[in-house]
Amino acid sequence: MIRRVLAVLVLVYLAVAGCLFIVHHDDRPAKADAVVVLSGASRRLPVGERLVRQGYAPLLVVSRSTHPKAAERRACRSGALCFRAKPYSTRGEARAIARLAAAHHWRLVDVVTSQFHIFRARIVIRRCYHGRLRMVGAPQSLLDLPFEVVKETAKLTYQEVFARGC
């Protein structure tokens, strides 16, 4: 009996986690005031750069990672507006997006992040930034996906229980 209950709970968790973190929740990019690339994955920056090249926004904004790779350093030297989130988290990035949007009068922002991160990042950013928001998904490694799903579950739980504000 206990094994069946545990099996059902595991199946329910897998179904919910799949819906939240594997099923795509991204938006089509729109003409925006800026394309903001969230830190944490080298696969995000090329998507943001492509959106700016394609004319979706005149400005690329990059959230600096703790250990920037060459592409990130190059983008920041080549005209992207780069910032370091404080704290170094999605919540810190959301606060920075809100501050930058207010300072530069942005009304619509396209935010690039990994597909698995979109569901949670949208909630966190919405708590701080009240302009129009489009979340654009970047490719993700399937090998890392199980770990990322477990991590996102823990972070979503924390943010919904303990860190509900901006």
pLDDT tens for 106-126 read 999 999 999 989 999 999 999
Kind of pairing, strands 108-114 and 132-138?
parallel
166, part of any domain: no
28, part of any domain: yes
| 122-135 pLDDT tens trace | 999 999 999 999 99
User: Taking the chain, what is the end-to-end CA distance rounded to the nearest angstrom?
Assistant: 43
| 19-31 pLDDT tens trace | 666 767 788 999 9
Check which CATH number belongs to the domain holding 21 and give it.
3.40.50
| 4-56 pLDDT tens trace | 877 666 666 666 666 666 767 788 999 999 999 999 778 999 999 999 999 99
Residue 37: which of 59, 73, 62, 58 has the closest Cα? Answer: 62
128, part of any domain: yes
Count of domains forming the chain = 1
Model-level pTM? 0.88
- The pLDDT, as a whole number, for residue 84 is 95
19, part of any domain: yes
Percent of the chain at pLDDT > 90 equals 63
Q: Which domain holds residue 63?
A: 2-161
Instruction: Tell me the average pLDDT of the chain.
Output: 89
69, part of any domain: yes
Q: Which helix (H) or strand (E) holds 90?
A: helix 90-104
